[in-house]
C-alpha cells in the first residue's frame, strides 16, 4: 500500500504535462532507480502503482518436509529452505527394474550433485523404475489431486482437456482456485493473479513434469494449499505427450513446440495458446532441462555446473517495468530459494553446433518461446532449466528438487505480490495500448556482445573451472531495425489463417464493413537470407533457421475492400501484434510463411475513418 507521502508525491507528478513527464521519467529511470520511476508513472494513470522498493524481495518460504513413510502429521520437520513438500507413497505402481545408467563423467563430478535432503514420490520417481510417469498415470494423478482439493472448504478444482497432441493424446490442465468455479470467467472474477506452469514441452526433459505432479499435490492437499487464498494456479504437467512417449525432444511431426508459441503451427501450442487466452495468467513458468554433457566439454574442456538455469522474457518491445518486476519480485527470491537448498544457478545459456564457435548465448530474443511470447502478453514469464538431458534418470531426485524449489518460490512470490501485480499489470496493459499511432516499434533486436566469467566443472577433478567466454547478453538488446509504430495493420480477406492464430492468442481483430481508403505503408521485399539460431544448438534439432528479410516501405492512400481485417494496436497485446505482423521481424507470420503474400499486410498510419465491426 502507498504511504501518504508517496500518494502526495504521485499527485504532484500527476499535474505535470505529458511531455515533461516523458522527459523526467526517462531521466529518473536512468538515475534515480526503479522506485522513483514507478512513482512517476503512477502519477500519470488513474490506477496508482504501489511504491516499489528495490531489493525488497519476499523471503523464501520455510520448508516443512514430511519424511517418507511418516505415519502422522506430527512427524513434520521444519528446515530453513525454500521448498514445501509432503512426499507420499504411490500405491499400485509396479516398479520396472532396469540397470541404472552409468554417469557419463567422473565420480568426482558426480559427487558435486548429491541427493537432496528430501525424497519426492510420484509414479515416475518410484525406486528402480526404468521409465517416468506415463500419460495414464498423469491423468490419474491429476484427478486424484482435484478430488483431494475439493475436500478443502472453498477450494474449486478440475482437470480440463485443452486439446489433443498430433497422435491424438489428450493434453490436460489442472485448475486450482478459491473462486466460484474453475471456468475462465469464474477464475478471472476472483481478481487474483493466475500462475500457469507448463512442463515437458520437450519429451526428453522429464524433471519438470515430475516436479509439477509434486507441486499439484502440495497445492491440492499439502503444504502449499494456503497460497490458493491469494492466487489461482493452472498446471499443464506434460505439454508434449507424444515426445514423452517416444523419449524424444520433438513432437510427433518433428517440430520443436517450444519455439512455436507465436506461429502456433502445432496443435500442442494451439492448446496452450487458447488456455492462456482464456485464463490470462499473470505469471508463466516453463519447466525444461538442459544437456548435462556434450558441446561444453568439446569446446571448453569443462562440464556444465549449475542445477538450474533461469531467465525471464527478453524480447524486443517488452515493457520496462515488466522486466524490473521479473528481476526484483521474482528472480531475486528464486536465487535465494535455490541457494538455501545448496542448488547452483546461472542465467539460461547455450552454444551452437559449430566446433569453432565458442560464443555462449543467453536465452534468445525471438518472439517464439513461451517465455518471450508470455512477456509480450504482459505476463511475468520464466524458463527454469535443470541439468538433465542426456543422463536418463541420473540425479533425478535432485533435478526434481531444483524444479520444485523454483516453482514454490514463484508461487510464493506471486501470493506475496498480489496487490502490486493488481496495480502494475493493468497499468502495463494501458501503457501498451496507448502507444498506438505514436512512438517507436522495434522490428529486430540483437543481444549485446560481452565477456562473461562462466563457472563450469573440471571433468576429471570435479572442481570449479572458471572460463571467460564471449557472451551474447539478452539483458541489453541492440536495436537493429525500428520504425514508427502504426495505428494498426490491414490484412486481406484471404488472411484467414493469420487471423485465426491472432485470435487464439487473444488479439482483437476487426472486420472491414465498408470499402474506403486508409493512409498506410505498403511493403516491398528487397532481399532475404537464412541464418542459424544462436540461442539453440544440437538439442534444438527441428528448430527452423531464422529468415531475415529486408523491406522498403512506401506511404500513400490504400484502397480497402469490404471483408478485409483490421488489427488495431490500441490493445494490450499490441507488442505481440508487432512481432507477428511486421514482415521483417524474425518471428513474423510472413518470415515464417504463415502469410505468403507481402501485399496482404499494410501498416495503417492514421486512425481509420471507415466502418469497422468486431468479429463474433
> Tell me, what's the pLDDT at 443?
96
Query: What is the pLDDT averaged over residues 565-581?
Result: 98
> 88 pLDDT band (50/70/90 cuts)?
very low
Q: What is the pLDDT of residues 261-276, one digit of tens each?
A: 999 999 999 999 999 9
DSSP per residue, 201-246: SSTT--HHHHHHHHHHHHHHHSTTGGGGGT-EEEEES-S-HHHHHH
What SS3 class is residue 273? helix
CA-to-CA distance for 101 and 132, rounded, in angstroms?
14
What SS3 class is residue 347? strand
CATH superfamily assigned to domain 118-432: Zn peptidases (3.40.630.10)
CA-to-CA distance for 521 and 499, rounded, in angstroms?
20
Q: What is the pLDDT of residues 174-194, one digit of tens each?
A: 999 999 999 999 999 999 999
CA-to-CA distance for 531 and 508, rounded, in angstroms?
32
Percent of the chain at pLDDT exceeding 70: 82
pLDDT tops 80 at residue 19: no
> 55 pLDDT band (50/70/90 cuts)?
very low
> 534 pLDDT band (50/70/90 cuts)?
low
The domain locations on the chain are: 4-42, 118-432, 487-614
Cα–Cα distances in angstroms (integers) from residue 16 to residues 25, 32, 427, in the given order: 11, 18, 18
C-alpha cell at 247: 523419449
> Tell me, what's the pLDDT at 49?
41
> 442 pLDDT band (50/70/90 cuts)?
very high
In this predicted structure, which of 127-131, 133-137, 533-537 has the lowest mean pLDDT? 533-537
Mean pLDDT, the chain, integer: 86
- Write the CB contacts of 251 (distance below 8 Å, at least 6 apart in sequence): 165, 166, 240, 242, 243, 257, 266, 268
In this predicted structure, which of 14-18, 134-138, 266-270, 465-469 has the lowest mean pLDDT? 14-18
Amino acid at each position: 500500500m502507498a504511504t501518504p507521502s508517496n500518494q502526495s508525491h504521485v499527485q504532484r507528478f500527476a499535474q505535470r504535462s505529458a511531455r515533461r513527464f516523458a522527459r523526467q521519467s526517462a531521466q529518473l529511470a536512468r538515475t534515480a532507480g526503479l522506485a522513483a520511476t514507478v512513482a512517476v508513472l503512477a502519477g500519470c494513470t488513474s490506477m496508482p502503482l504501489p511504491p516499489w522498493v528495490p531489493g525488497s524481495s519476499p523471503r523464501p518460504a520455510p520448508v516443512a518436509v514430511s519424511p517418507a513413510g511418516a505415519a502422522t502429521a506430527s512427524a513434520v520437520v521444519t528446515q530453513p529452505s525454500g521448498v514445501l513438500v509432503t512426499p507420499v507413497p504411490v500405491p499400485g505402481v509396479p516398479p520396472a527394474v532396469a540397470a541404472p545408467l552409468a554417469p557419463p563423467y567422473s565420480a568426482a563430478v558426480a559427487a558435486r550433485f548429491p541427493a537432496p535432503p528430501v525424497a519426492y514420490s510420484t509414479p515416475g520417481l518410484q525406486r528402480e523404475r526404468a521409465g517416468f510417469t506415463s500419460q495414464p498415470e498423469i491423468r490419474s494423478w491429476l484427478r486424484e489431486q482435484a478430488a483431494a482439493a475439493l475436500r478443502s472448504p472453498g477450494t474449486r478444482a478440475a482437470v480440463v482437456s485443452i486439446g489433443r497432441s498430433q497422435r491424438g493424446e489428450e493434453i490436460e490442465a489442472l485448475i486450482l482456485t478459491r473462486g466460484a468455479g474453475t471456468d475462465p470467467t469464474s477464475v478471472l472474477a476472483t481478481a487474483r493473479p493466475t500462475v500457469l506452469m507448463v512442463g515437458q514441452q520437450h519429451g526428453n526433459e522429464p524433471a519438470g513434469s515430475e516436479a509439477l505432479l509434486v507441486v499439484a499435490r502440495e497445492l491440492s492437499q499439502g503444504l502449499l494449499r494456503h497460497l490458493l487464498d491469494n492466487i489461482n494456479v493452472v498446471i499443464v504437467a506434460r505439454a508434449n505427450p507424444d515426445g514423452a512417449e517416444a523419449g524424444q525432444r520433438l513432437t510427433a511431426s518433428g517440430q520443436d513446440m517450444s519455439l512455436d508459441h507465436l506461429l502456433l503451427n502445432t496443435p500442442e501450442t494451439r492448446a496452450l495458446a487458447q488456455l492462456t487466452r482464456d485464463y490470462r495468467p499473470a505469471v508463466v513458468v516453463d519447466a525444461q532441462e538442459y544437456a548435462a554433457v556434450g558441446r561444453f566439454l568439446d569446446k571448453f574442456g569443462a562440464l556444465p555446473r549449475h542445477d538450474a538455469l533461469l531467465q525471464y522474457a527478453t524480447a524486443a518491445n517488452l515493457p520496462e517495468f515488466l522486466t524490473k518486476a521479473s528481476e526484483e519480485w521474482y528472480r531475486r527470491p528464486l536465487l535465494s530459494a535455490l541457494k538455501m537448498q545448496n542448488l547452483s544457478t546461472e542465467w539460461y545459456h547455450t552454444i551452437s553446433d559449430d566446433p569453432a564457435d565458442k560464443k555462449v548465448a543467453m536465452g534468445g530474443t525471438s518472439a517464439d518461446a513461451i517465455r518471450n511470447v508470455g512477456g509480450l502478453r504482459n505476463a511475468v514469464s520464466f524458463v527454469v532449466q535443470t541439468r538433465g538431458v542426456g543422463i536418463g534418470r541420473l540425479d533425478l531426485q535432485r533435478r526434481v528438487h531444483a524444479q520444485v524449489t523454483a516453482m514454490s518460490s514463484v508461487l510464493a512470490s506471486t501470493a506475496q505480490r498480489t496487490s502490486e501485480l493488481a496495480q502494475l499489470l493493468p497499468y502495463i496493459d494501458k501503457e501498451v495500448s496507448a502507444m498506438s499511432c505514436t512512438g517507436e516499434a522495434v522490428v529486430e533486436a540483437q543481444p549485446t556482445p560481452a565477456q562473461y566469467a562462466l563457472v563450469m566443472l573440471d571433468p576429471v577433478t570435479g572442481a570449479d573451472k572458471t572460463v571467460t567466454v564471449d557472451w551474447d547478453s539478452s539483458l541489453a538488446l541492440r536495436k537493429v531495425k525500428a520504425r514508427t509504430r502504426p495505428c494498426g495493420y490491414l490484412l486481406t480477406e484471404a488472411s484467414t489463417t493469420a487471423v485465426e492464430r491472432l485470435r487464439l492468442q487473444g488479439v482483437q481483430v476487426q472486420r472491414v464493413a465498408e470499402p474506403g481508403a486508409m493512409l498506410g505503408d505498403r511493403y516491398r521485399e528487397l532481399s532475404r537470407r537464412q541464418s542459424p539460431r544462436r540461442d539453440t544448438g544440437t538439442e534444438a534439432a527441428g528448430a527452423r533457421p531464422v529468415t531475415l528479410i529486408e523491406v522498403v516501405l512506401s506511404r500513400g492512400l490504400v484502397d480497402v475492400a469490404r471483408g478485409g481485417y483490421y488489427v488495431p494496436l490500441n490493445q494490450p497485446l499490441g507488442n505481440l501484434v508487432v512481432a507477428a505482423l511486421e514482415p521483417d521481424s524474425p518471428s513474423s507470420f510472413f518470415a515464417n510463411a504463415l502469410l505468403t503474400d507481402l501485399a496482404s499486410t499494410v501498416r495503417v498510419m492514421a486512425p481509420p475513418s471507415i466502418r469497422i465491426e468486431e468479429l463474433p
